[in-house]
Amino acid sequence: AKKEGGGKYRLFGRSVAPLMLERSLLKRGLQRALDGSEFVLHYQPKVDFHSGRIVGAEALLRWQDPERGLRGPVEFIALAEEMGLILPIGEWVLGEACRQAQRWHRAGHELHVAVNLSARQFQDPDLVAKLAQILAESRIAPCQLQLEVTESVAMERPEVGYAMMQECVAMGVGIAIDDFGTGYSSLAYLKRLPAREIKIDRAFVRDVVSDPDDRAIVGAVVALGGALGRRVTAEGVETREQFACLKEMGCDLVQGYWTGRPMPADAFEALLGTDRLF
């Protein structure tokens, strides 16, 4: 489409107008959400397959939209990224997750909080300085924070990604490679990455019980994690059968609806009170 003053949408025909309206409403909504603190974090347990204990909480962003109720990140993260809002939103997420980690720590619970980083955040030259400030303000140990970076984000600019991870690890902050298996990092690159955890994407977990190919892939990742000294997490575990299969295959941590859905912080804290989940 040609961008000509006024006639901008003409080439698309009439049907595009409602979409553009929707988009501009969403844009305004997002800005308001940030200014008016309409964002909240839900937390999903990461559980040790062997001890049954919660060892971590992944922070997942939610938008409490006064008009439409609770909205998930797939509805708005991409647009926030496009609008340049992802940096301030991401900083809020980091700060809030670290404050929550501090509360849990004070209540006597030992666990890490895992925060998802977008590509923009990961490539932000000020990220390390911001992290240092957030850690100082929340007074948590750096090892209680873990950053989740998808394989494709890490691979976008491999050298930048590598340097950034090195700096985080030097501060004591942990790194996890998210959605592992969906990108195309070479084994040589993976070997260099200072990540302490590899998260197997849910795409391989879904049919792991019935599909020998998926089982072979999971087996390979578990072997790789073992050889490189990385913890392997199975994501998106929904059934007892998947759980049993992945445990048997030697995954270290389990995360999914089977062991706990994402939930508000107070519900999560109640769950922390139980000794073991299974």
Residues within the interface to ligand C2E (CB under 6 A): 44, 60-61, 72-74, 77, 90, 93, 116, 118, 148, 178-179, 236-238, 256-257, 262
Please say which residue, 123 or 133, places its beta carbon nearer to Ca ion: 123
Can residue 197 be called a binding residue for Ca ion (CB under 5 A)? no
By beta-carbon proximity to Ca ion, the closer residue of 33 and 147 is 147
116 sits near Ca ion (criterion: CB under 5 A)? yes
Is 151 a residue that touches Ca ion (CB under 5 A)? no
Question: Interface residues for Ca ion in 39-98 (CB under 5 A)?
Answer: none
Residue 118 interacts, among ligand C2E, Ca ion, none and using kind-specific CB cut-offs from 5 to 8 Å, with ligand C2E
Of these, 124, 179, 197, 214, which contacts Ca ion (CB under 5 A)? Answer: 179
User: What is the CB neighbour count within 10 angstroms for residue 150?
Assistant: 22
Q: If contact means CB under 5 to 8 A according to the sort of partner, which of Ca ion, ligand C2E, none does residue 77 touch?
A: ligand C2E
100 contacts which partner out of ligand C2E, Ca ion, none, CB within 5 to 8 A by kind?
Answer: none
User: Which of 74/188 has CB closer to ligand C2E?
Assistant: 74
- Per partner kind, with CB cut-offs from 5 to 8 A, the member of ligand C2E, Ca ion, none near residue 236 is ligand C2E
CB of 263 to ligand C2E, least distance (A): 10
Q: Which residues bind Ca ion (CB under 5 A)?
A: 116, 148, 178-179, 235
